[in-house]
Amino acid sequence: MYRVYLDFLETAEKKRHWNIFNDVPWERLETSKATENCAQCVEIFCAEELYVPDYSSNGLELVRSRFGMAWFQTCWAFEESRHGLVFREYLTRSGLRSEAHVEALEASVCAKAWKLPFQTPRQMACYGALQEGATYVAYRRQRDQARSANDRVLEAIFHLVGRDEAAHGGFYRAIIELELAQDRAATIADLAEVISNFKMPGDGLIANYQQRLRACGAGISARAFVEHVVWPLLVTLQISRQELKAAINARR
């Protein structure tokens, strides 16, 4: 796990780290292209990212005895906090949301606490791979829409944060591969458990979460989740659909 983390960190330091102030072309921000639908999408993404204190404290406590995973958790928290900040800056710099509105959003986030959806490091690694994959797919869709609208600022933001999410998902997949090598049956059973009970972090915390995602087109459908997240994960991990279905059926 330590080696997996070092590989993750080396790639991040050499190729992926970015600066919120210099790598987003804020000078190209055109308020005429900043629509209310964009605001709705960015706001719900921002709210979900603002739970980083809960994600990081709960996650770090769970894996503190596993050096590689614990150090990844600290790095992950910084990178995710940057996502929340860049979304916040877009909302205020574009004029779509006032500082008072964003402060009220932050207060609503602080009013509720996120708890771990699963209780073991292996299950949370499975959850992380799925959640990061789903987030990447959602951000990629927003990036493509921003590119079509010639919105260079939003395109850059979703490119940068999406690239981070893809890297985070890659780390979790590598951890699952280690777990599979140690205990394949139990790891597939955990993956089946997580898939059967999966939901995004904001679901149940952010008011009208599912309705808001559908209204602004920020989320992905259940079908897209299976096609673009679950099946590719199984291919990468070399887990057959039959193995997964057998594990799911064994839970019933």
**Which residues have a Cβ under 8 Å from the Cβ of 35 and sit 6 or more positions away?**
none
CA distance 99 to 95: 9
Residue range 145-177, pLDDT digits in tens? 999 999 999 999 999 999 999 999 999 999 999
Question: What 3-state DSSP class applies to 170?
Answer: helix
pLDDT of residue 33: 76
* Residue range 9-30: mean pLDDT, rounded: 96
Residue range 32-52, pLDDT digits in tens? 878 899 999 999 999 999 999
| Strand boundaries in 83-136, DSSP class E | none
Q: Is the pLDDT of residue 134 over 80?
A: yes
Report CA 215 to chain centroid distance, whole Å.
Answer: 20
Q: Which of these, 15, 38, 16, lies nearest to 146 by C-alpha position?
A: 38
pLDDT of residue 197: 95
* Residue range 9-13: mean pLDDT, rounded: 96
Q: Which residue segments constitute the domains of the chain, with CATH numbers given?
A: 34-251 (1.10.620.20)
Report whether 158 contacts 167 (CB < 8 A): no
Report whether 141 contacts 220 (CB < 8 A): yes
Rg of the chain on CA atoms, in Å = 18
CA distance 61 to 247: 28
- pLDDT band for 251, please (50, 70, 90 cuts): confident
Share of the chain above pLDDT 70, in %: 100
CA distance 132 to 130: 6
pLDDT of residue 32: 80
CA distance 177 to 11: 19
* Residue range 234-243: mean pLDDT, rounded: 96
Q: Is the pLDDT of residue 252 over 80?
A: no
Residue range 191-213, pLDDT digits in tens? 999 999 999 999 999 989 999 99
Residue range 91-123, pLDDT digits in tens? 999 999 999 999 999 999 999 999 999 999 999
pLDDT of residue 168: 98
pLDDT of residue 120: 97
